Each structure stands twice: as C-alpha cells, then as structure tokens.
Amino acid sequence: MKPVQLLLILGTAGVLLSYLAFFRSKLLDRLVGLLLVLVAWFSILFPEYTTVVAHLLGVGRGVDLIFYFFGLFTAFALILLYTQGRTHSQQLTELIRHLAIRDALVSPGAREQPAAAALPRDS
Amino acid sequence: MSDASFPAPGSPPPQTWVVIPAYNEGEAIRGVVEELLARGYPVVVVDDGSRVPLLEVLRGTAVHLLRHVINLGQGAALQTGIRYALERGAEVIVTFDADGQHQSADIPALTAPIRAGRADVALGSRFLLGGQAVHISRSKRAVLKLAVVFTRWTTGLDVTDTHNGLRALSRKGAQTLHITQNGMAHASQILQQIAAYRLAFAEVPVTVVYTEYSVRKGQRLTNAFNILWDSFAELFYR
C-alpha cells in the first residue's frame, strides 16, 4: 500500500466516524454515508477500476471523473448550505420580531389612536 | 392650520398609525417623531438594533418603541412595525423615514386614497407632477429613474417612483404584504407583491428633501447592485 492510500483511508474513516458521532441523522443517511466511504475506499485501493467507470462515461481517466463529480457535489452542497442559512435567518427574524413586539415600550401618553385632542378645538 | 387627515367632526378619526424604521439615528429622529406626534398620529419607532439604543434619544416622547436585539435591516424593521400597528388596531399605516427627508404635511394627501377606499397601498412619489425631490443629486436621480424603468418592466406596474420610504397601507394592504426581504430590496418586493396580489394602489405626489444628514445616513448608490442581487436571489425561494 502506498502512503497516500493509507492517508486517504484514515482521513475518510475519520470523516465517517465524526459524521456518525456528531450528527443524529436518520438510519438511511448513515447507511448512505457508510456506502460512500466504502466506495471511496474501493477506489483508493483499486484506482484502476475508476478508470473503467470513467471510460464507460466517456472520460479518459478515473481521476478526472472523480474531479468532475467533486465539483458537482461541492456546488450542490453550497446551495444546500445557502438554503439552510436562509431558513435560519428567517427563523431568527421571526424570533427577534416576536421579542420586539412582546417587549414594546409604550411611553406614558403614547396614543393608541389619533387623539381627539389633535383636532382643532373649534371644530 | 386645517388638517385634512381628519374627517368632519362627528365621524370617528381613522386609525392612522405611523411606523418609522430606525437604525443608528442621532440628530434627526427626535424632531421627526415630535412633529408626527404633534399632528396626532400614534407613532411606532422600530429601533433596528442601533449601537446606542434609541431609547436615549427618544426619552420623554410619547411613542411606541420597539427594538430588534440584532440589526436585521430596514425591510425587517418595517414588517415588525407594521405587524405591531396591526395588532394595535391600526386602520391605516404610514411608513415614514427617520432621517427627516419626508414631510408629515404630506400624510393627509397620501392617506386620502386609502381612507376613501380607492386603494390598499398609496405610494409617495417625488417624481409625479406636484411631487418634489429637493437637493437631490444628479446621480441619485439617475439611479432612481433606472430603478423605475426596471420595476415597470419586471412588475408591469405603472409607477413613477419605486424606492421612496413614504407609503400608506390600508389594513387589508398591510395584512396582505409580507416583507421577507430584510434588507433594502424590500422596496422592490412591496411592488412585486402589489402586482402579485393585485392590490389597488395609488401614487401621490410628495416632497422628499435631501438634507446633508439624510444624504450621509442614506444609501450609497452602489447599493443598487446589492438590491438587484437580493431581488434576484428571492426568485429562487418561492
């Protein structure tokens, strides 16, 4: 085994373990994660097979195929994160709005409606 | 002074509330608030997380003071103030800038179409015949005109001024609009929603005075690009 293979396998194992440990995700998600890591290990240990798949898809080298998919995956993940961030900011907005309305300071004498006193006296 | 915002004696006064979004306002807001109070309007100030809480500046004024504990943006502050006014039973809601560039004397004419039941949204226009933009810079006028062309094209609304903070809403209009653009793109969003929900709207000529303070407090023209981007991004969150 080449040193780089060992590094990559240890790295992916670390990612998988932290995913399983830190995220209380659904069983299906965990299985998908596990499957992805198994595929990763297989392509790390037998890189020549990625080239076979690449040829099937019309790409010259397995490394290139993985690179393309990496780009696609990253873009997808970014959009997912952006959407999540937006959802969170909307929730935060609602929370802050709720607090602002709940804790409104109404000065003594603040009007609830246009006061009759503002009407001209002679009318 | 006769104030046309109030109907003839005998009929109950319309519940016209004024909502002012404010962020880091110093000099001008107190005068703005006092003038509105003197005209008899209930005033809601939404302090959008100012560094120095506006409570200090506004102490002693008879306002409803709301505070966002975190700065969210003018759109969010408007929506908060509008919801509060609705909860308090407002029949007509006027949105008003904190920096002193709007004239409280314009409110009666602005709310007239609402009170008459002819419109659910009345938009103040500084470019309509009879309206005025005092001391406006040439570049600002150009960018605003460009925004008008863009808005006419995207919403199909026949408007002459798109980014004026002086507006009036009927209760129905206020309940229908829901501003989710926390930043400055809310102005475009309001117009988009007027078009989408087919709200009856009217434009009313108003005067906007660009004081040295309001220009300094106001937006940079380059922010137009951010607004465009926010509006564009919104398309993907329907």
Tens-place pLDDT, residues A15-63: 999 988 888 778 888 999 999 999 999 999 999 999 999 999 999 998 9
Contact B28, B214 (CB under 8 A): yes
pLDDT of residue B11: 44
Contact B99, B28 (CB under 8 A): yes
Set of chain B residues whose Cβ sits within 8 Å of the Cβ of A120: 2-3
Indicate whether A116 pLDDT > 50. no
Average pLDDT, chain B: 86
Average pLDDT, chain A: 87
pLDDT of residue B15: 85
DSSP of A78-97, one letter per residue?
HHHHHHHHHHHHHHHHHHHH
The per-residue pLDDT for range B32-82, each reduced to its tens digit, is 999 999 999 999 999 999 999 999 889 889 999 999 999 999 999 999 999
Query: A62 Cβ partners below 8 Å, 6+ apart?
Result: A43, A47, A48, A49, A50, A51, A52, A53, A54
> Which of the 8 DSSP states describes residue A64?
H
B190: left (phi over 0), alpha (psi -120 to 50) or beta: alpha
pLDDT of residue B65: 96
Indicate whether B127 pLDDT > 90. no
Structure tokens at A101: 């309305």
Indicate whether B10 pLDDT > 50. no
Query: How many A-B residue pairs are in contact by the CB < 8 A criterion?
Result: 94
Inter-residue long-range contacts of B150-158, CB under 8 Å, 24+ positions, other chains counted = B151/B188, B151/B191, B154/B188, B154/B192, B155/B191, B155/B192, B155/B194, B155/B195, B156/B195, B157/B191, B157/B194, B157/B195, B157/B201
Sheet holding A105-106: strands in order across?
Answer: A105-106, B64-67, B43-47, B16-22, B92-95, B167-170, B121-125, B201-205
pLDDT of residue B157: 85
Task: Report the C-alpha gap between B68 and B76 in whole angstroms.
Answer: 9
* Percent of chain A at pLDDT exceeding 90: 69
Distance from CA of B128 to the nearest CA of A (A): 29
Q: What's the whole-model pTM score?
A: 0.79
pLDDT of residue A94: 96
pLDDT of residue B235: 65
Higher per-residue confidence, A114 vs B39: B39
Which residues on chain B place their C-beta less than 8 Å from a C-beta of chain A?
Answer: 2-3, 5-6, 9, 13-16, 37-43, 46, 55, 60-70, 72, 76, 79-80, 83-84, 87-89, 180, 182, 237
pLDDT of residue B6: 46
pLDDT of residue A113: 58
Q: Nearest CB to B61: which of A96, A107, A119?
A: A107
pLDDT of residue A55: 93
- The pLDDT confidence band at residue A117, using thresholds 50, 70 and 90, is very low
pLDDT of residue B219: 65
Minimal-distance CA residue of chain A relative to B91? A113
- The pLDDT confidence band at residue B222, using thresholds 50, 70 and 90, is low
pLDDT of residue B169: 96
The ipTM of this complex is 0.82
CB contact under 8 A, A89 and B182: yes
Q: Nearest CB to A90: which of B61, B70, B180?
A: B180
- Least confident stretch, B42-51, B77-86, B154-163, B202-211: B154-163
Query: B203 Cβ partners below 8 Å, 6+ apart?
Result: B122, B123, B124, B125, B128, B159, B160, B161
* Percent of chain B at pLDDT exceeding 70: 89
